[in-house]
A and B are shown apart, each in its own frame.
Chain A
Amino acid sequence: MIALIRTEFTKAASRTRSLVILLLLIGLPTLIVVAINARSGRPDRDGGEGLFRLASQSGLLVPAAVLSATSGFLLIVIAGTLAGDSVASDANWGNLRYLLMRPVSRARLLIAKAFVAGMLIWAATILVTLAALIAGLILFGAHPVTIPSLGGLLGTFNISGGALALRVLIATAYVAFGFSALLAIGTLFSTLTDTAASAIGATVGVYIVSEILNSITQLGQVRYAFPTHYLDAWETMFTQNTYSKEMIVGIVVQVAYLVVVGAVAIAVFDRKDIRS
């Protein structure tokens, strides 16, 4: 298993694509921070997005703003790429049959591939936080922050630098773990096609659709089962000074997807006729 993980990691990490993702994950957060800085000099006209408006108070709050901005799309696309690619790219190269005509269990190969994709998704999320944190600390320093609760209706509250750091850590882990369902779905799709692009497209598509449907409140409780419903539950740590219980529910939902969809992916892959 360790050998499989190592070889799969080498294959995934050595792609040019990985370098592009790396640059994107450092570049985009830096750009966002620069934009926050540029805006903070100007008089505050309409206030802008909550976390963004507040972020210039402290470099420790910047990762929250950047995670909020990137987890809705950029990180989803990157995670979808990493997950959807795992089996399908080998199939695409015609290399999958050579991996499987050996005494290697298909379930283990699939788990190794998903594990590597999961590791890279975590690395991507951590990289976003780190890039934002470093840029933020350079531009704004490490200060405690004062945040208006519910846009000032309920007064303000303070978060100390230490608490901010802890919450950034929790937020990063929560966002990264929030891609577990996507990892499972992407891995399943990856076993179903020989074209990496379609597996990636389908995975990202499911997430975008889930986000769109999630925003239609008329759908009611069905939305609670969507993989994206609880993705932003961490933000109350910064906007309302509370650890939302929804974070726990969100984790449970992710675990459920991981287990159920993961089991389906293994079952599908195990029975599949390998032609590529």
Chain B
Amino acid sequence: MSDVIVEVDGVSKRFGEVNAVEDFSFHVERGQVYGLLGPNGAGKSTTLRMIMGLERPNSGVTRLFGTAVTAGCPELTRVGAIVEQAAFVPHLSGMRNLKLWWMAGGGRMADADLDNALAIADLGEAIDRKVKTYSQGMKQRLGFARLLLGRPELLVLDEPTNGLDPGEIREIRELIGRLTHQGATVLLSSHHLSEVEQVCSHALVMNHGRLITSGTVSDLVGTTKSIYVEVDDRAAAHELLVQLPSVINVQMQGDGLVMVLRDGRRSDVGAALVSAGIRLETLMPTQRLEDAFLDLLAAGDGGAVPSLQAAQVSS
């Protein structure tokens, strides 16, 4: 039987009128790198907080290593987490923050994996500077150092690259890559499709606190006959495409149109558009994970989600 590390079992969480998470279930097995993909406000952070014992579900239960999570439960020693941004005591140095945090949990400094953590944070002399002088990227790296102090079996990472510049994003992704190669089980949330595709072995897509779809990333990303086009006149293109017998399910999405190709080739669609006098800017196959994700956009989440371009860069 496989080793279930994280279990979210029929969990709901309400804030007044808002159902932040609704009857939500999934589980993460040992060795998986599991992505929680959803736009801003989908309920990712709320889910991770309930896993870490910071918030209580209104119903359902979260489990770590098979044990129901309560505030400050012993299983948390086996977990390292960053929930939302990494944050510290600003008037203390990075080093001081690491040590105080570790000792506050009752640990002895000798037991902490400090050298490895410092190597990973790679802050050089800045480790002795006050944290308030750090950039967000430096804080994020210090956050990784902190969560690694206890040699965790599970890493919980909530949008670990959010708010970072492209260089910092690359560093953090490489760091996550190294950690997963060392065999860590990871639960990572993101609103960047590319990030999940790049780092994760398994993923689920959530929106409005509900599960949309889940599976292995290669399953989810497996090619389908869905395609995406960008044109100068979307309305005209839409009118034309819905009449093409080889195409079904035409939808406006992002800056363009998405449809499913029933038979024929992508170039046929291109030819049809061009011969109708419509300028074709982009035409590309889309993937199922993208579809699932783009469906969320269609559901009216607006600008809070990444552009399709951002998603395409990595694929």
Contacts and interface: CB of A to CB of B under 8 A. Distances in A.
Interface of A: 3-4, 6-8, 10-11, 14-16, 90, 93-95, 97-106, 270-271, 273-275
A20 to B, nearest CB: 13
A98 B74 CA distance: 15
A100 B104 CA distance: 10
A15 B91 contact: yes
Contact of B104 (A4, A14, A15, A275): A4
B77 A101 contact: no
18 contacts: A7-B100, A8-B104, A10-B100, A14-B92, A90-B89, A93-B87, A94-B85, A95-B89, A97-B54, A97-B83, A99-B101, A102-B76, A104-B104, A104-B106, A106-B72, A270-B71, A273-B55, A274-B55
B36 to A, nearest CB: 17
Interface residues of B, number: 32
A271 B74 CA distance: 18
Contacts of A99: 101, 104
Given A100-B72, A101-B81, A102-B77, A93 B89 contact: yes
B163 interface: no
A95 B88 contact: yes
Given A103-B74, A103-B105, A104-B72, A273 B89 contact: no
B73 interface: yes
B101 A98 contact: yes
Contacts of B90: 93
A90 B146 CA distance: 16
Contacts of A6: 103
Contact of B49 (A90, A105, A275): A275
B52 interface: yes
B89 A106 contact: no
Contacts of A90: 89
A97 B53 CA distance: 10
Nearest to A102: B105
A270 B72 CA distance: 10
Given A15-B91, A93-B87, A105-B72, 5 more contacts: A3-B103, A103-B72, A270-B71, A271-B56, A274-B49
Contact of B91 (A3, A14, A94, A273): A14
A275 B76 contact: no
B84 interface: yes
A4 B106 CA distance: 8
Nearest to B105: A102
B262 to A, nearest CB: 47
B92 A101 contact: no
Contacts of B96: 10
Interface in B88-134: 88-92, 96, 100-101, 103-106
A94 to B, nearest CB: 3
Contacts of B74: 103
Identify the interface centre among B49, B71, B101: most chain A CB within 10 Å of its CB.
Answer: B71
Nearest to B45: A275
B72 A274 contact: no
Nearest to A104: B72
A94 B104 CA distance: 16
A16 B91 CA distance: 8
Contacts of A8: 104
Nearest to A112: B104
Contacts of B54: 97, 100-101, 273-275
Contacts of A102: 72, 76-77, 104-105
A158 B25 CA distance: 79
A103 B146 contact: no
Contacts of B91: 14-16
A33 B110 CA distance: 51
Given A97-B54, A98-B87, A11 B72 contact: no
Interface string B59-77: 0000000000001111111
A39 B55 CA distance: 60
Identify the interface centre among B54, B84, B88: most chain A CB within 10 Å of its CB.
Answer: B54
A104 B102 CA distance: 11
Contacts of B79: 101
Contact of A273 (B56, B77, B105, B106): B56
A179 B313 CA distance: 61
A4 B104 CA distance: 5
Nearest to A1: B106
Given A101-B53, A103-B73, A11 B106 contact: no
Given A15-B91, A101-B76, A7 B103 contact: yes
Contacts of A105: 72
A11 B73 CA distance: 24
A16 B89 CA distance: 13
Contacts of A104: 72, 104-106
In the A-B complex, list the 7 residue pairs whose CB atoms are closest, starting with the nearest: A94-B87, A274-B54, A273-B55, A7-B104, A102-B105, A101-B52, A7-B100
A98 B85 contact: no
Contacts of B55: 273-275
A98 B146 contact: yes
